[in-house]
Amino acid sequence: MSVNKEIRRVTTHVLQKMKHDGERISMLTAYDFSMAKIFDDAGMDILLVGDSASNVMAGHETTLPITLDQMIYHAASVVRAIKRSFVVVDLPFGSYQGNSKEALNSTIRIMKETGAHGIKIEGGEEIIESVKRIISAGVPVMGHLGLTPQSIYKFGTYAVRATEDAEAQKLLKDAQLLQEAGCFAIVLEKIPALLAKQVAETLEIPVIGIGAGKYVDGQVLVMHDMLGINKEFKPRFLRRYLNLYDDIYNATQQYINDIKDRDFPNDSEQY
Ligand code: KIV
């Protein structure tokens, strides 16, 4: 099955119908206008302005340093490019943990200043009041369970989560709570495929996986990983569709050589 051309604009209702019809949901991160335009033209269902921008755009080791203002800058650039995709923006670390009012205020800034369609928030039971408050303000919320990178210092590693029964049970309970609170979808990151399958089969809302196996309702990757811009990051769950690092490196060397050799510009490339 390829891109569903009948869908002119992806909404939460469209995503719900995709789950109902068994049509897999495609999702990819985007942080800037030009890439978002290509992804939207290609038919991506959801574009996530992820706080992974902290790593791949700003070069930080974790997602913790990125600010709400920086997320808004990236999200506004992405939204300017899209016609079809549903745009979700991560609430960055420090913009919602204080209380549900802080979470709502950060969400309102994102919605007003970017034109995005919804937000994503990491966590389960501990953020459920915030989720309810944001949804009661009319904003679609996507949950995020499993490996939640904003808690990396609590976990200590980026290893697979919920391999032990206690954590798996908590994840199942949290997923149920997020659905009951009104989330339109949930991301599951780096958990065993059979646990993700159980969540996807139990919940009525779409479950999107990253390193969560093939039984969920959709897949998301970080664009730099999917396009092979990062050479070092090679988790088992990643499929690279290009090796852009090598292509860009080679093109850049060619450009440098052409300048040094006085080959560029040539007669037809000048006025
Ligand atoms: O920030 C991000 O890119 C994410 C994805 C890994 C789901 O949250």
Compute the distance from residue 147 Cα to the ligand 1 centre, in Å.
10
pLDDT digits (tens, 9 = 90+) for 20-77: 999 999 999 999 999 999 999 999 999 999 999 999 999 999 999 999 999 999 999 9
Which of 31, 32, 44, 48, when mutated, tests ligand 1's pocket best, judged by the most ligand atoms within 8 Å of its CB? Answer: 48
CA-closest residue to ligand 1 atom 5: 50
pLDDT digits (tens, 9 = 90+) for 147-165: 999 999 999 999 999 999 9
CA dihedral 134, 203, 93, 162 (to 10 degrees): 160
Compute the distance from residue 254 Cα to the ligand 1 centre, in Å.
34
CA-closest residue to ligand 1 atom 4: 50
CB of 27 sitting under 6 A from ligand 1: no
CB of 160 sitting under 6 A from ligand 1: no
The H or E element containing residue 268 is: none
| Chain position carrying tokens 């860009």 | 248
Cα separation of 240 and 223, whole Å? 10
Cross-strand partners of 88: 48, 118
* Residue type, position 41, single letter: D
Give me the active site residues, please.
189
90 a known binding residue?
yes
CB of 225 sitting under 6 A from ligand 1: no
51 a known binding residue?
yes
- CA R_g for the chain: 20
206 prior amide bond cis, ω within 30 = no
* Residue type, position 30, single letter: A
Query: How would residue 124 be classed by pLDDT, with cut points 50, 70 and 90?
Result: very high
Annotate 53-93 with three-state secondary structure. Answer: HHHHCCCCCCCCCCCHHHHHHHHHHHHCCCCCCEEEEECCC
Domains of the chain: 12-240 (3.20.20.60), 243-271 (no CATH)
Quickly count: other Cβ atoms within 10 Å of residue 201's Cβ: 10
pLDDT at 122 over 90: yes
pTM (two decimals): 0.97
2 a known binding residue?
no
Contact 124, 174 (CB under 8 A): yes
